[in-house]
Amino acid sequence: MKISVIGIGSWGTALAIHLLKNGHQVTLYGRLEDDIVQINNDKIHPFLPGIVIPEDLKITGDLKEACNNEYLVIAVPSPYVREVVKKMYRAGFGKKTIINVAKGLEIETGLRLSEVVFEVTKGEYDYCVLSGPTHAEEVAKGLPAAIVAASENIELAKKIQEIFNNESLRVYTNEDTLGVEIGGSFKNIVAIASGIVDGLGFGDNAKAALITRGLHEMKQIGKTLQANGETFNGLSGIGDLMVTCMSKHSRNRGFGEKIGKGLNPAEILKTNDMVVEGTYAAKAYYLLSKKFNVDLPITEEVYKCIYEDKNPLECFKDLMNREMKMESE
């Protein structure tokens, strides 16, 4: 297949390398000329240490050229999806297949990224989301992993499964696009909270409790938005939640750890070279929780920690001192 990956970050580049190994013709699009020149010349990506960029990976700064291919993988941070898709649409992208690997919600509207793409393209697309516990560093190295291709069109999901599946990346299919998108975006909030646990010096007990109750919140908002609850027991739910909350590679967990150690969230973000998706997700889901009157206590405390400068230790004290209730509540 002729496939373009829109986004030259670590995840987009890792997927481009993976697709090349599967025998596809791959074009990787980047917005910044300096990044393109550096990666083309050095064959090294700044966020993928130890990974050599293949010679046959075509890298371009021409979006129109990239959009000529049949399959378009969107691998940009969620806050930029609308802007990028608008540019793709104006570039004459027409009827194509979009494979979205970004994880998040649009803060201003509360829309899922599939809804953003649909709104911009007026529905002139085939859409599949690819999500699961897959750190770019490990996928680029060809270490074993599993992921979910989700689409309301199950035949399309099966097609994407065929394109991406190999002995190092096992791809499953799912028809619940809504649930897969919720899981992929919501887990970043819990990962920030998990990092705060680490930064505060709490133990394994606290982290296990935090992840478990975070999964409960994921299911609560999923139920409210009418997703399939079983989806959250899969790779895009608990699977992605586990890896993002525990891994050294997780920028969301790392961001939370710095907060737990006393650093100011705004200052951390100013010096961070990579987008911390959980900061956007925390605000988007906090606003949704108020809109639909659903109780998301971990989400609320992460929001207050980031946006209201609440002391992280006070956040956890307030979580522990909430009104006693049944576990199912």
DSSP class of 112:
B
Is 310 noted as a catalytic residue in this protein?
Answer: no
CB 84 within 8 A of CB 101: no
Can you read off the two tokens belonging to residue 97? Answer: 């297949």
C-alpha to C-alpha distances, 242 to 190, 202, 207, 237, nearest whole angstrom: 10, 17, 10, 9
Can you read off the two tokens belonging to residue 247? Answer: 């891994």
DSSP readout, 227-269? Answer: --GGGGGSIIIIIHHHHHHH-TT-HHHHHHHHHHTT--HHHHH
| CA 95, 181, 4, 108 torsion-angle sign | positive
CB 60 within 8 A of CB 96: no
Tokens 């889901």 map to which residue?
285
Active-site option among 96, 103, 159, 187: 187
Catalytic sites, residue numbers: 187
